[in-house]
Structure 1
Amino acid sequence: MNNLPYQQEKVIQRTQLILSSFEHWLGHSLWKEKGLPEIQGSSEEIAQQLFGVPFAVASHGIETDPIFNYGNQKALDIWELTWEEFIKIPSRKTAELVEQTERDRLLAETTKKGFSYFSGIRITSTGKRFKINNGIVWNVIDEQQINQGQAAVYSDFYFL
Protein backbone atom coordinates (compact mmCIF):
# COMPACT_ATOMS: atom_id res chain seq x y z
CA MET A 1 0.00 0.00 0.00
CA ASN A 2 1.21 3.51 -0.75
CA ASN A 3 2.23 5.60 2.23
CA LEU A 4 0.62 8.90 1.27
CA PRO A 5 -3.19 9.05 1.26
CA TYR A 6 -3.44 10.82 -2.11
CA GLN A 7 -1.52 7.97 -3.75
CA GLN A 8 -4.15 5.38 -2.79
CA GLU A 9 -6.59 4.45 -5.55
CA LYS A 10 -9.61 4.74 -3.23
CA VAL A 11 -8.56 8.28 -2.25
CA ILE A 12 -7.89 9.28 -5.87
CA GLN A 13 -11.41 8.12 -6.78
CA ARG A 14 -12.94 9.94 -3.80
CA THR A 15 -11.08 13.12 -4.78
CA GLN A 16 -12.60 12.93 -8.26
CA LEU A 17 -16.12 12.50 -6.80
CA ILE A 18 -15.61 15.40 -4.36
CA LEU A 19 -14.49 17.74 -7.13
CA SER A 20 -17.01 16.67 -9.79
CA SER A 21 -19.86 16.85 -7.25
CA PHE A 22 -18.86 20.35 -6.18
CA GLU A 23 -18.98 21.48 -9.80
CA HIS A 24 -22.30 19.67 -10.36
CA TRP A 25 -24.04 21.44 -7.47
CA LEU A 26 -22.37 24.87 -7.54
CA GLY A 27 -21.84 25.27 -11.29
CA HIS A 28 -18.11 26.00 -11.06
CA SER A 29 -14.98 24.28 -9.83
CA LEU A 30 -13.74 24.22 -6.26
CA TRP A 31 -10.53 25.81 -7.58
CA LYS A 32 -12.51 28.77 -8.94
CA GLU A 33 -14.45 29.03 -5.68
CA LYS A 34 -11.17 29.48 -3.84
CA GLY A 35 -9.65 31.83 -6.42
CA LEU A 36 -7.11 29.31 -7.67
CA PRO A 37 -6.16 28.56 -11.28
CA GLU A 38 -7.80 25.45 -12.73
CA ILE A 39 -5.81 22.31 -12.05
CA GLN A 40 -4.76 20.13 -14.94
CA GLY A 41 -3.09 16.76 -14.85
CA SER A 42 -3.71 13.14 -14.12
CA SER A 43 -6.20 12.10 -11.46
CA GLU A 44 -3.21 11.25 -9.24
CA GLU A 45 -1.75 14.75 -9.67
CA ILE A 46 -5.12 16.35 -8.95
CA ALA A 47 -5.51 14.20 -5.82
CA GLN A 48 -2.06 15.32 -4.65
CA GLN A 49 -2.91 18.97 -5.27
CA LEU A 50 -6.24 18.82 -3.40
CA PHE A 51 -4.48 17.13 -0.50
CA GLY A 52 -2.07 20.05 -0.23
CA VAL A 53 -4.31 23.11 -0.72
CA PRO A 54 -4.35 25.76 2.05
CA PHE A 55 -8.04 25.22 2.88
CA ALA A 56 -9.80 22.32 4.60
CA VAL A 57 -11.66 19.69 2.58
CA ALA A 58 -13.29 16.69 4.25
CA SER A 59 -15.95 14.16 3.34
CA HIS A 60 -17.92 11.35 4.91
CA GLY A 61 -19.71 8.34 3.52
CA ILE A 62 -23.27 7.08 3.65
CA GLU A 63 -23.10 4.92 6.76
CA THR A 64 -25.93 5.28 9.31
CA ASP A 65 -23.44 7.20 11.45
CA PRO A 66 -21.27 8.58 8.61
CA ILE A 67 -17.51 8.02 8.91
CA PHE A 68 -14.95 10.37 7.40
CA ASN A 69 -13.43 8.94 4.24
CA TYR A 70 -11.37 11.96 3.17
CA GLY A 71 -9.57 14.82 4.80
CA ASN A 72 -6.84 16.81 3.15
CA GLN A 73 -3.72 17.83 5.06
CA LYS A 74 -5.25 21.12 6.22
CA ALA A 75 -8.27 19.27 7.68
CA LEU A 76 -5.98 16.74 9.38
CA ASP A 77 -3.90 19.57 10.85
CA ILE A 78 -6.94 21.47 12.13
CA TRP A 79 -8.47 18.39 13.75
CA GLU A 80 -5.05 17.26 15.02
CA LEU A 81 -5.33 13.78 13.57
CA THR A 82 -3.38 11.46 11.32
CA TRP A 83 -5.00 10.12 8.15
CA GLU A 84 -5.42 6.70 9.80
CA GLU A 85 -7.19 8.25 12.80
CA PHE A 86 -9.34 10.60 10.72
CA ILE A 87 -10.87 7.94 8.45
CA LYS A 88 -12.16 6.00 11.48
CA ILE A 89 -14.10 8.86 13.08
CA PRO A 90 -17.83 9.47 12.70
CA SER A 91 -18.15 13.00 11.30
CA ARG A 92 -20.63 13.94 14.05
CA LYS A 93 -17.75 13.78 16.54
CA THR A 94 -16.36 17.03 15.11
CA ALA A 95 -19.32 18.98 16.51
CA GLU A 96 -20.03 19.42 20.20
CA LEU A 97 -23.30 18.05 21.51
CA VAL A 98 -24.84 21.53 21.69
CA GLU A 99 -24.03 22.00 17.97
CA GLN A 100 -25.43 18.61 16.87
CA THR A 101 -28.97 19.83 16.20
CA GLU A 102 -27.75 22.60 13.89
CA ARG A 103 -25.32 20.22 12.18
CA ASP A 104 -28.12 17.67 11.63
CA ARG A 105 -30.35 20.41 10.19
CA LEU A 106 -27.55 21.54 7.87
CA LEU A 107 -26.90 18.02 6.56
CA ALA A 108 -30.62 17.39 6.02
CA GLU A 109 -30.96 20.69 4.13
CA THR A 110 -27.94 19.76 2.02
CA THR A 111 -29.40 16.34 1.24
CA LYS A 112 -32.49 18.10 -0.16
CA LYS A 113 -30.88 21.06 -1.96
CA GLY A 114 -27.54 19.56 -3.04
CA PHE A 115 -25.41 22.08 -1.19
CA SER A 116 -25.57 24.61 1.64
CA TYR A 117 -23.46 27.40 3.06
CA PHE A 118 -22.68 27.13 6.74
CA SER A 119 -20.98 28.61 9.76
CA GLY A 120 -20.58 26.82 13.04
CA ILE A 121 -18.42 25.74 15.92
CA ARG A 122 -16.48 22.49 15.67
CA ILE A 123 -14.07 20.72 17.98
CA THR A 124 -10.67 19.12 17.39
CA SER A 125 -9.65 15.68 18.60
CA THR A 126 -7.95 17.31 21.60
CA GLY A 127 -10.99 19.42 22.53
CA LYS A 128 -10.00 22.77 21.01
CA ARG A 129 -13.02 24.66 19.73
CA PHE A 130 -12.99 26.60 16.48
CA LYS A 131 -15.47 28.67 14.51
CA ILE A 132 -15.98 28.10 10.79
CA ASN A 133 -17.39 30.94 8.69
CA ASN A 134 -18.58 30.75 5.08
CA GLY A 135 -18.13 27.01 4.68
CA ILE A 136 -19.85 24.98 1.98
CA VAL A 137 -21.19 21.47 2.37
CA TRP A 138 -22.41 19.48 -0.66
CA ASN A 139 -23.68 16.05 -1.60
CA VAL A 140 -21.08 13.76 -3.14
CA ILE A 141 -22.61 11.82 -6.01
CA ASP A 142 -21.19 9.34 -8.48
CA GLU A 143 -21.55 9.24 -12.27
CA GLN A 144 -25.03 7.66 -11.93
CA GLN A 145 -26.12 10.50 -9.56
CA ILE A 146 -26.16 8.06 -6.63
CA ASN A 147 -25.43 9.58 -3.23
CA GLN A 148 -21.96 8.73 -1.91
CA GLY A 149 -21.97 11.01 1.13
CA GLN A 150 -21.24 14.68 1.73
CA ALA A 151 -18.17 16.90 1.64
CA ALA A 152 -17.28 20.27 3.12
CA VAL A 153 -14.77 23.01 2.41
CA TYR A 154 -13.75 26.01 4.45
CA SER A 155 -10.84 28.38 4.78
CA ASP A 156 -12.31 31.04 7.07
CA PHE A 157 -11.94 29.73 10.61
CA TYR A 158 -10.40 30.67 13.93
CA PHE A 159 -9.78 28.98 17.24
CA LEU A 160 -11.89 30.13 20.19
Structure 2
Amino acid sequence: MDLRTDLTFFNLLTGSYARLLGASLVREREHAEDAAAWLYHDAPFGLLAHNSADDPVFVYGNRRAQSLFGYDWDELTALPSRLSAEAPERSERQAFLDQVTRNGYVSGYRGVRIAKTGQRFWIERATVWQLIDEHGKLHGQAAMIPHTTALRD
Protein backbone atom coordinates (compact mmCIF):
# COMPACT_ATOMS: atom_id res chain seq x y z
CA MET A 1 0.00 0.00 0.00
CA ASP A 2 1.29 3.44 -0.96
CA LEU A 3 1.08 5.69 2.10
CA ARG A 4 2.40 8.92 0.56
CA THR A 5 -0.94 10.73 0.80
CA ASP A 6 -3.12 7.97 2.26
CA LEU A 7 -5.67 9.65 4.55
CA THR A 8 -5.87 6.78 7.03
CA PHE A 9 -2.11 6.86 7.52
CA PHE A 10 -2.09 10.68 7.57
CA ASN A 11 -4.68 10.56 10.38
CA LEU A 12 -2.54 8.04 12.28
CA LEU A 13 0.58 10.26 11.93
CA THR A 14 -1.11 13.52 12.84
CA GLY A 15 -3.57 12.09 15.36
CA SER A 16 -0.95 10.23 17.39
CA TYR A 17 1.29 13.32 17.33
CA ALA A 18 -1.55 15.52 18.58
CA ARG A 19 -2.60 13.08 21.32
CA LEU A 20 0.94 12.59 22.63
CA LEU A 21 2.37 16.09 22.22
CA GLY A 22 -0.74 18.23 22.49
CA ALA A 23 0.17 20.08 19.30
CA SER A 24 -0.59 19.88 15.60
CA LEU A 25 1.91 18.46 13.11
CA VAL A 26 0.33 20.43 10.24
CA ARG A 27 -1.45 23.75 9.95
CA GLU A 28 -5.21 23.57 9.74
CA ARG A 29 -6.35 23.13 6.15
CA GLU A 30 -9.83 23.02 4.73
CA HIS A 31 -9.38 19.52 3.25
CA ALA A 32 -7.46 16.62 4.76
CA GLU A 33 -6.32 15.65 1.26
CA ASP A 34 -4.56 19.01 0.95
CA ALA A 35 -2.89 18.59 4.34
CA ALA A 36 -1.70 15.06 3.49
CA ALA A 37 -0.31 16.28 0.16
CA TRP A 38 1.46 19.22 1.85
CA LEU A 39 3.00 16.90 4.46
CA TYR A 40 4.39 14.59 1.80
CA HIS A 41 5.38 17.08 -0.91
CA ASP A 42 6.08 20.42 0.76
CA ALA A 43 6.72 20.13 4.49
CA PRO A 44 9.96 21.93 5.43
CA PHE A 45 10.91 19.12 7.81
CA GLY A 46 11.77 15.49 7.24
CA LEU A 47 9.15 13.01 8.35
CA LEU A 48 9.80 9.28 8.60
CA ALA A 49 7.79 6.38 9.97
CA HIS A 50 8.62 2.75 10.47
CA ASN A 51 6.38 -0.19 11.23
CA SER A 52 6.29 -2.28 14.40
CA ALA A 53 8.07 -5.36 13.01
CA ASP A 54 10.89 -6.97 15.01
CA ASP A 55 13.28 -5.36 12.51
CA PRO A 56 11.24 -2.24 11.61
CA VAL A 57 11.15 -1.07 8.00
CA PHE A 58 10.34 2.46 6.91
CA VAL A 59 6.77 2.70 5.62
CA TYR A 60 6.79 6.45 5.04
CA GLY A 61 9.27 9.15 4.23
CA ASN A 62 8.20 12.52 2.91
CA ARG A 63 10.08 14.28 0.11
CA ARG A 64 12.27 16.18 2.56
CA ALA A 65 13.29 12.92 4.30
CA GLN A 66 14.00 11.31 0.93
CA SER A 67 16.24 14.24 0.07
CA LEU A 68 18.06 14.08 3.42
CA PHE A 69 18.75 10.35 3.20
CA GLY A 70 19.20 10.16 -0.60
CA TYR A 71 16.64 7.42 -1.22
CA ASP A 72 13.60 7.54 -3.46
CA TRP A 73 10.23 6.33 -2.14
CA ASP A 74 10.64 2.72 -3.26
CA GLU A 75 14.15 2.43 -1.82
CA LEU A 76 13.26 4.12 1.45
CA THR A 77 10.14 2.04 2.06
CA ALA A 78 12.16 -1.16 1.65
CA LEU A 79 14.90 -0.05 4.08
CA PRO A 80 15.13 -1.40 7.63
CA SER A 81 15.16 1.76 9.74
CA ARG A 82 18.24 0.59 11.70
CA LEU A 83 20.26 1.12 8.49
CA SER A 84 19.66 4.87 8.72
CA ALA A 85 22.39 4.86 11.41
CA GLU A 86 25.91 3.47 11.14
CA ALA A 87 26.67 0.31 13.12
CA PRO A 88 28.48 2.16 15.98
CA GLU A 89 25.45 4.47 16.34
CA ARG A 90 22.83 1.70 16.25
CA SER A 91 23.00 0.79 19.94
CA GLU A 92 22.55 4.47 20.86
CA ARG A 93 19.66 4.69 18.39
CA GLN A 94 18.03 1.59 19.88
CA ALA A 95 18.35 2.91 23.45
CA PHE A 96 16.69 6.12 22.29
CA LEU A 97 13.84 4.22 20.59
CA ASP A 98 13.34 2.22 23.78
CA GLN A 99 12.94 5.53 25.64
CA VAL A 100 10.30 6.58 23.09
CA THR A 101 8.49 3.30 23.72
CA ARG A 102 8.48 3.93 27.48
CA ASN A 103 7.48 7.60 27.34
CA GLY A 104 5.35 7.79 24.17
CA TYR A 105 7.55 10.45 22.60
CA VAL A 106 10.83 12.29 22.98
CA SER A 107 11.58 15.80 21.70
CA GLY A 108 14.92 17.50 21.14
CA TYR A 109 16.74 14.37 19.96
CA ARG A 110 20.13 14.70 18.27
CA GLY A 111 21.93 11.81 16.60
CA VAL A 112 24.17 10.88 13.69
CA ARG A 113 22.54 9.37 10.62
CA ILE A 114 23.88 8.12 7.32
CA ALA A 115 22.65 8.82 3.81
CA LYS A 116 22.63 6.34 0.94
CA THR A 117 25.87 7.93 -0.31
CA GLY A 118 27.60 7.22 3.00
CA GLN A 119 27.54 10.90 3.98
CA ARG A 120 27.03 11.23 7.73
CA PHE A 121 24.93 14.03 9.18
CA TRP A 122 23.37 15.15 12.44
CA ILE A 123 19.63 15.14 12.85
CA GLU A 124 18.82 17.82 15.38
CA ARG A 125 15.82 18.86 17.47
CA ALA A 126 13.98 15.75 16.24
CA THR A 127 10.75 14.56 17.78
CA VAL A 128 10.06 10.84 17.74
CA TRP A 129 6.71 9.42 18.80
CA GLN A 130 4.73 6.23 18.97
CA LEU A 131 2.23 5.71 16.16
CA ILE A 132 -0.71 4.74 18.32
CA ASP A 133 -4.20 4.86 16.87
CA GLU A 134 -7.29 6.12 18.68
CA HIS A 135 -7.94 2.57 19.96
CA GLY A 136 -4.49 2.27 21.55
CA LYS A 137 -3.00 -0.05 18.92
CA LEU A 138 0.70 0.47 18.18
CA HIS A 139 1.61 0.72 14.49
CA GLY A 140 5.27 1.80 14.79
CA GLN A 141 7.13 5.03 15.40
CA ALA A 142 7.55 8.29 13.51
CA ALA A 143 10.20 11.00 13.50
CA MET A 144 9.96 14.66 12.57
CA ILE A 145 13.37 16.10 11.68
CA PRO A 146 13.35 19.91 11.56
CA HIS A 147 17.10 20.48 11.26
CA THR A 148 20.22 18.69 10.04
CA THR A 149 23.91 19.53 9.91
CA ALA A 150 26.48 17.81 7.69
CA LEU A 151 29.39 16.11 9.39
CA ARG A 152 32.84 16.80 8.04
CA ASP A 153 35.05 13.72 7.79
Scaled by the length of structure 2, the TM-score of the pair is: 0.91
Q: How does 1:7-86 map to 2 (within 5 A)?
A: 11-31=6-26, 38-51=27-40, 52-86=42-76
Q: Aligned equivalents of 1:83 and 1:13: distance in 2? A: 19
Unpaired segments ≥5 residues, structure 1? 32-37
Q: 1:105 aligns with which of 95, 99, 103?
A: 95
For 1:156, the equivalent position in structure 2 comes to 147
The answer to whether the 8 A contact 1:14-1:70 is kept is: no
Q: Aligned equivalents of 2:134 and 2:19: distance in 1? A: 11
Offset of residue 130 of structure 1: 0.4
Q: Deviations over 1:86-134 (max 9, x none)?
A: 1000000000111111110111110110001210000001111000111
Unpaired segments ≥5 residues, structure 2? none
The runs of at least 4 aligned residues of structure 1 exceeding 6 Å deviation read none
For 2:114, the equivalent position in structure 1 comes to 123
For 2:135, the equivalent position in structure 1 comes to 144
The answer to whether the 8 A contact 1:131-1:159 is kept is: yes
Identity of aligned residues (%): 35
Q: Aligned equivalents of 1:41 and 1:97: distance in 2? A: 44
More helix by share: 1
Scaled by the length of structure 1, the TM-score of the pair is: 0.88
Offset of residue 43 of structure 1: 2.7
**RMSD over aligned Cα, in angstroms?**
1.7
Q: Deviations over 1:6-64 (max 9, x none)?
A: 2xxxx332221111111111111123xxxxxx222333222101112111000000111
Q: Aligned equivalents of 1:28 and 1:127: distance in 2? A: 34
